[in-house]
Structure 1
């Protein structure tokens, strides 16, 4: 194991610890005004993970959760049990030796099953493009 790999593992684990602390605090205070502080810190930590480990499969799961929380401040809409479910999911995922594409897909489906909309940014296709292709 080289130094870069060790740093990557440590930073991923450390970032996960910070994410889990904020998720627990958010779960405990989900209906209180202080929840905004924990949500802000959580979103910043998740964004930091994206910056530090952009190609890590685990980051893909974290960013799916980020999208669900960030879009239109939807973090407000989720409840304590949903946040605890995410804690369990992330804990089990980070404890896996290898996170492959299948693990990522399963984790994102679990987020969806917990009620998180991991694809909140709607995509509107220009229907005229389809018609133009059919005419050619």
Structure 2
């Protein structure tokens, strides 16, 4: 690993540590007005990670959590144990030497198991349309 790779890795780790701090704070202050400050900071830091390290496997997991929190301000709906679970998951992911595609998939499924809706932007099809007009 050369110096630029080391700096890049350290920067990603530093951003991820900032995310972990905010998740810990959200876990502590869930349901209280001050949680909005930590949620705002968390979402901004998550987008910063995405902007700087879009191809990093850890970013994919972080953005799945971001979508669950940001969509319709759902961060308000999650509780302390869910935030603690997300913290534990990301902390273990950061400590892995290499993050595989399987690790990413398992991590996103773990977020789902914790109750985070990681795909909130789904499309709903309207099956109630008059099908008789299609047959004519």
Query: TM-score, normalised to structure 1's length?
Result: 0.89
Q: How does 1:63-82 map to 2 (within 5 A)?
A: 63-82=63-82
* Residue 27 (str. 1) matches residue 27 (str. 2): yes
**5+ residue gaps, structure 1:** 128-136
CA distance in 2, matches of 1:57, 1:39: 22
* Residue 98 (str. 1) matches residue 98 (str. 2): yes
Query: TM-score, normalised to structure 2's length?
Result: 0.89
- Is the CA contact (8 Å cut-off) linking 1:8 and 1:53 kept in structure 2? no
**5+ residue gaps, structure 2:** 128-136
Corresponding pairs, count: 127
Please tell me the root mean square deviation across aligned C-alpha atoms, in Å: 1.4
Find the counterpart in structure 1 of residue 56 from structure 2.
56
Q: Please list every run of at least 4 consecutive aligned residues from structure 1 whose deviation after the TM superposition is greater than 4 angstroms.
A: 124-127
Q: Secondary structure at the match of 1:74?
A: helix
Bigger mean CA offset, 11-20 vs 110-119: 11-20
